[in-house]
Structure formats: structure tokens, C-alpha cells
Amino acid sequence: MAQTKYIFVTGGVTSSLGKGIIAASLAKLLQSRGYKTTIQKLDPYINVDPGTLNPYEHGECYVTDDGAETDLDLGHYERFLNVRTSQANNVTTGRIYQSVIEKERRGEFLGKTVQVVPHITNEIKERVQLLGNSGEYDIIITEIGGTVGDIESLPYIEAVRQLLWELGDNNAIVIHLTLVPYLSAAGELKTKPTQHSVKTLMESGIKADILVCRTEHEISNEIKDKLALFCNVKREAVIQSIDASTIYDVPLLMQEEGLDTVTLQKLALPNNVAPDLGRWNEFLARHKNPKDEVTIGLVGKYVELQDSYKSILESFIHAGAANEVKVNVKSVHSEYITAANYENKLKGLDAILVAPGFGERGIEGKVKAVEYARVNKIPFLGICLGMQMAVIEYSRDVLGLENANSTEMDENTLDPVISIMEEQKTITDKGGTMRLGAWDCELKDGSLVKEMYNGASQISERHRHRYEFNNAYLEQLENAGLMATGFNKETNLVEIVEAKDHPWFIGVQYHPEYKSTVANPHPLFVGFVKAALEHKKAQSNATLA
């Protein structure tokens, strides 16, 4: 295509309407028609990135191949599109201001007074067009975080207004996602909040081209006509987005509503190729028609907020569909697992996953969960901190090193089986100082993990951690049966451990969940779910016998 087209997705009335899902669904439909599409997220908070945010604040922190700590919506983008994102796909107000201030300090503004307009808005526009100018994409979808009218979002809205004017007709459009609430007392859907939201957008100089209306009830043609008239959009551009049983239904619902068709029309792009959603529909069919089910315990310390482990939960959906198995995830708060109750808390599970995290809260509960899985031969997967807990548990209970710990939890531990990297010891800032992004890992011949990766000798996986396996204990642990089966050759750091005398016990220092997509479920999760099903069947047969 001669010129990259831009789609801006804004939100109104309330937050958490699902702009990311709508953006990803539209991108999937456009991609399935042959358009090279990507999505970026503009976040209005002042943190430079979500890396230092508590998961309770913002859900999980998603990491890209290039080591960017980003918003969890980028996970949706990758899972839907099967296209890798990067630092360029997530921009925060903090990063924008940091960049502008650094330019001012270097004297790049030649003594001018630095202002929101034009300096901040110019920086935003530059970031928005970074992917478009790369020549790799036909269409860039940009999701604006927050809600129209928020004081934090104003510079982004102004930047969008300027870009719409600069790019010209048919080169950029705005999709406004809003809420049409149902009042049970009145027994009807109300359009007034949407009207006010669109009015607020217009006060900023932006006219919505397409209106996507989130709703719990079907929106009648009469209401669509009313919204079109009062919100100044074409009738065919009023799109219903009703609650769905799964987020993976949304692309099909948007196709039924004609979102992709009206988008192509507004962008003056050819609409002569029907969407190819064959593989997507196959995945949905397997997901919705499982032949069996398993219950997997997710042991973590942020389980009250589902978004804290979003990628893990979605990976279970992908792996479940691959195995034609429904995965029931039972959340177990590690802070409430004790030596007295751990058997009761964990009994009846077909597999146990000990989740990533930071800090010492809930750590001993994770150690007990590892012990329960190891002793009872229950399939176990430890991710990042979960892998480190496996090393600690094995060191304590098998090697007999009672004080074994991570220096993250106990700086003065006598047996630091997990310790900080030497180059990290002098760093005082927390943001962006971990081992981040894609790192290579060599897999040992004959290992279970190599079998899970279909015989691959080398893999590349994404990391987000500061503490590492202490190689001083490697020989002792291997002699005791905890084998290191994956290494990074450059650093000689242990990436994977597995228990020798266990049917399926794997701990990985990286985050496999970040790379699982609908098109390519992660092989570790696929193998883990399969192992859970085999364990369940074995237990059932043993009971019958």
C-alpha cells in the first residue's frame, strides 16, 4: 500500500469496556483479509512503564521480545494476531515527558519554552507514526487508554485531532467505544451516556467515525437509528458489542456487525477479499466442545485479581483447546497455605502451577505447594519465581539444607541457592533493571523439556526477573535428582530445572505464557495440560482398581 492508514480507538462513559479486545478483534479481521496490521497502546499514566506497578494496580506486566515492560493489552494483540510487538507498541505519558525533558536538557529546543502543545503533542505524534513509517504495516490501530474527558488523556486526544487533520481524509479514522447501559427499573437501554461521551469527544475537535456500543442486551434498530442521529455517525457505523461467552468470540461478533466492512469503507480500502478465519473457527470449536476436563491449581499471591495472571489464564485456554480439554483453574492464594493446611488446600488437583511474582509475601506457601506436587507426583510447572521456589524446596527437603533460600527473601541466608546477578548488585533503581526480553536457551538431550519442545535443541523465551539460580549448588542438586536441563550459553545461567524421579516436574526461569497465541499454543502449556489429563485418568483408574 502507498500510505499507511491509522485507526484510533477511544473510550467513553467508563473504563474497562474492552478497547483492547475490540482493537484486537478488528485487527484480526483486517489481518484475515490480507492487510498487514498491528496495534499500539497509548497509556495516560505517568509511570515510564508498568514494570514497577503492583499487579493489583494494573494487572500483569507484559514483556516483549525486545525487553519492553508493557501494558497487558499487548498480550491480547499478540494472542489474536500472532504478530510480535515491541517497545514501539506501548507508550506512556511518563515516557513521553521523559523524552521531551531529556531533549530540553540537551538543548534541542533551542531555548524555546517547552509546552504541552506543540512539544508533548509532537512527541506523541512521532511515537504514533513510528510503526507506520517502518513500511512494515498497511494499517496501524492505536488504542488510547483511559476515558474521554479524563485530564490525563487530553494531550493524546489533541495529538489525535492534529493527526486526523495532517493525514487527511480516508487516511485516519476514530472508533469510539462507549457503554449503552440497561436500567432494570425502567426496563430499557439508555443512550444518553453515549451521547454525552460523543459530545465530549467533539468538544476536543474530534468526530467519531464509528461507534461501538458495549451492551448486555440486544440494541434495537430504533436505538441504533437514534444513536446515529444524535451522535452524528452513519447508521451502518453504529456497531453493537454485546457480552460474549469468551473474548475469542468477539472477532466473529464484530464481523457479523460489519465493523471491518465499514472500517475499510471509511479508509477507502478495497473490500474484495473475504476474511479467512478457518483456523480461528477451528480453535473456537475445540475450545467450546472439549472431550474432557482437568482442574489445575494456580498458586500465586495476586489471585484476587484475574488480570494479574492474564497471560497464564489465556495460555491454559490455548493449550486446553489443543488437547480438546476444558481447563478449570482453581486459584490458591499462597499466603494462606501453611504447613498445617497445605494438603487440604491442594488436594484433588490434577496439576499445580506455581506462578511468578516478587517479594517475600506468600513465599512459604509456594514452597509447600512445590513439595506437595513433588511428593505426590502431581504434574508441576513453576514459572520464574515458581521455578526458584522449586529449587529452594528441593534444597531444603531433599538436600537437607534447612536454611536454603533466595537472597531476595533473606539477604543473610546461609545457603543462597537463588541469588542476585553480580552486575545487578550495584543497581539501586528498580525500573527496567531486570533480565528482560528474549534470551536463548539450550535444551539438554534426553530431557523432558526437550520432548515438550518437540525435540528442539535451542529455544528463545522472554524473561522478567532479577534473581538467578546459584551455580555453586548445581552439582549438589543434580546429584540429588534436580537436573538443570536448560542453559543460556552466553551467561551459563540455568534456565530450566526438572526432577528426575517425577513424571512431569518442570521449573522455568522465563515466562512461557508471554508467547502463547491462538495460532501457536505454547508447547510447555500444551504438555502440562496433557500431563494433567494423564494424571487424572491414572488416579481415576487407581480408584476403580
Query: What pLDDT was estimated at residue 304?
Result: 73
Which residues of the chain form CATH 3.40.50.880? 290-544
Could you list the pLDDT tens digit for every one of the 545 residues in the chain? 568 999 999 998 888 888 999 999 999 999 999 999 999 999 888 887 776 666 656 678 889 998 888 888 889 999 999 999 988 899 999 999 999 999 999 999 888 999 999 999 999 999 999 999 988 999 999 999 889 989 999 999 999 999 999 999 999 999 999 999 988 888 889 999 999 999 999 999 999 999 999 999 999 999 999 999 999 999 999 999 999 999 999 999 999 999 999 999 999 999 988 889 999 999 999 999 999 999 999 999 887 777 789 999 999 999 999 999 999 999 999 988 888 888 888 999 999 999 988 777 878 999 999 999 999 999 999 999 999 999 999 999 999 999 999 988 888 899 999 988 665 455 444 444 578 889 999 999 999 999 999 999 999 999 988 889 999 999 999 999 999 999 998 888 999 999 999 999 999 999 999 999 999 999 999 999 999 999 999 888 877 76
- Contact between 210 and 183 under an 8 Å Cβ cutoff? The reply is no
For residues 447 and 524, what is the distance between their CA atoms, to the nearest angstrom? 13
Q: How many CB atoms lie within 10 A of CB 338?
A: 12
Binding residues for ATP: 16-21, 73, 244
Q: Domain 5-281 is of which CATH architecture? A: 3-Layer(aba) Sandwich (3.40)
Residue with cell string 549438589: 476
Going from the C-alpha of 256 to that of each of 25, 259, 265, 464, the distances in angstroms are: 12, 8, 16, 39
Q: Report the sign of the C-alpha dihedral through residues 326, 375, 541, 346, in that order.
A: negative
C-alpha cell at 129: 507514526
Binding residues for Mg(2+): 73, 143
- pTM of whole model > 0.75? yes
Which pLDDT tens digit goes with each residue over 142-160? 999 889 989 999 999 999 9
Report the catalytic residues.
384, 511, 513
Q: What is the CATH number of domain 290-544?
A: 3.40.50.880
Binding residues for UTP: 15, 190-195, 226
Reference 310, options 62, 532, 45, 65; nearest CA is 62
For residues 499 and 495, what is the distance between their CA atoms, to the nearest angstrom? 14
What one-character-per-residue DSSP string does 248-282 give? GGHHHHHHHHTHHHHHHHHTT----S----HHHHH
Query: What pLDDT was estimated at residue 308?
Result: 84
Which ranges of 172-247 does DSSP label H, i.e. alpha helix?
192-203, 221-231
Query: What pLDDT was estimated at residue 423?
Result: 54
Query: What pLDDT was estimated at residue 52?
Result: 67
Binding residues: 15-21, 56, 73, 143, 150-152, 190-195, 226, 244, 357, 385-388, 408, 466
Phi, psi of 491 (to 5 degrees): -105, -15
Query: What pLDDT was estimated at residue 430?
Result: 46
Which residues of the chain form CATH 3.40.50.300? 5-281
